[in-house]
Amino acid sequence: MPAMRLEGLTKHYGDPVHGVTALAGVDLKVDQGEFVAVVGRSGSGKTTMLDCVGLLMQPSAGRVLLDGVDAGTLNERQRAELRSHRIGFIFQEFNLLPTMTAMENILLPLRYSKGDRRAARARAEALLAEVGLADRANHRPTQLSGGEQQRIAIARSLINQPSLVLGDEPMGEVDTETSDLLLGLMRRINLESSVTFLIVTHDLELAARTDRQIRLRDGHLVSDERLAA
């Protein structure tokens, strides 16, 4: 059974006459442990697709199935549960909370879970070190550069040990060297724990280093290429 399956995924914004069709019937199957790059021009529907897959948005038509479960049959509480336990998000605009420190931001996805706090903190510290920001734990977002905020957002997406990570341009603001480091981190987690990654990127060189590249154009999936390792 695929980890993620989209069937005729369609999203309209606004009214039928003046509105926009952001997704026009996307079909896609992704297996557990695949690392997939999502490419396509600005406005092609990439963020909309991620928002639907991450259960942040209801599609206008079609279905999102996660591990065979049709998300459309779940109530809001069940959707929230799935999001907080199974899915990691890296948003296009980071969405870090300005009043919280880097450490607090990383721990944020665990705020409603009952797990061991000390273990969570140790994991957050390890993630901070992995993104190269061990000495920035107590900085607030305004005291961090754009690329540093992005790295905090990546660490945050991994804190709940998700089985699916959705990244919207997670390496958009960093230099090549840092981008290599971050891709390396995601790849390691991908291989070690068989975590599925769906990563939007404009960087075609980066896209070429994944397992599979899908392309959206005007809300349609126009290519799906498996790449040699």
Ligand X SMILES: Nc1ncnc2c1ncn2[C@@H]1O[C@H](COP(=O)(O)OP(=O)(O)OP(=O)(O)O)[C@@H](O)[C@H]1O
List of residues contacting ligand X (CB under 6 A): 13-14, 20, 22, 40, 42-48, 92
Which CB sits closer to ligand X, 39 or 182? 39
For the CB of residue 46, give the shortest distance to Mg ion in the complex, in Å: 5
Residue 213 sits in the site that holds Mg ion (CB under 5 A): no
- Is 48 a binding residue for Mg ion by CB under 5 A? The answer is no
- Within 8 A by CB and 6+ apart from 84, the residues are 109, 112, 113, 160
In the bound state with ligand X, the residue whose beta carbon lies nearer, of 48 and 163, is 48
Q: Does 201 bind Mg ion (CB under 5 A)?
A: no
Give the burial class of 148: count Cβ atoms within 10 A of its Cβ; 0-12 exposed, 13-18 middle, 19 or more buried: buried
- Least distance to Mg ion, CB of residue 202, Å: 10
The one segment of 45-53, 65-73, 131-139, 184-192 that binds Mg ion by CB under 5 A? 45-53
Q: How far is the CB of 124 from ligand X (least distance, A)?
A: 28
Beta bridge partners of 38: 200, 214
Could you give the 3-state DSSP secondary structure of residue 229?
coil
Q: Which does 20 bind (CB under 5 to 8 A by kind): Mg ion, ligand X, none?
A: ligand X
Nearer to Mg ion, 47 or 213 (CB): 47
CA–CA distance, 197 with 218 (Å, rounded to integer):
23
Q: Which is nearer to ligand X, 48 or 190 (CB)?
A: 48
- Count Cα atoms within 13 angstroms, Cβ side, for 202: 10
- Min separation Cβ 156 and ligand X, Å: 20
Selection from Mg ion, ligand X, none that 42 binds (CB < 5 to 8 A by kind) is ligand X
Decide which of Mg ion, ligand X, none touches 13; Cβ closer than 5 to 8 Å per partner kind: ligand X
Instruction: Take residue 156 and report the two structure tokens written for it.
Output: 């945050």
Nearer of residues 9 and 22 to ligand X, judged by Cβ = 22
Q: Is 40 helix (H, G, I), strand (E, B) or coil?
A: coil
CB atoms within 10 A of CB 64: 22
**Cα distances (angstroms) measured from residue 176 to each of 46, 180, 182:** 23, 6, 10
69-70 vs 87-90, strand pairing mode = unpaired
Element (H, E) at 162: none
Residue 47 makes contact with Mg ion by CB under 5 A? yes
Residue found under tokens 């980066």: 206
Choices 42-50, 83-91, 105-113, 208-216 (CB under 5 A): range interacting with Mg ion: 42-50
Per CB under 5 A, residues contacting Mg ion are 47
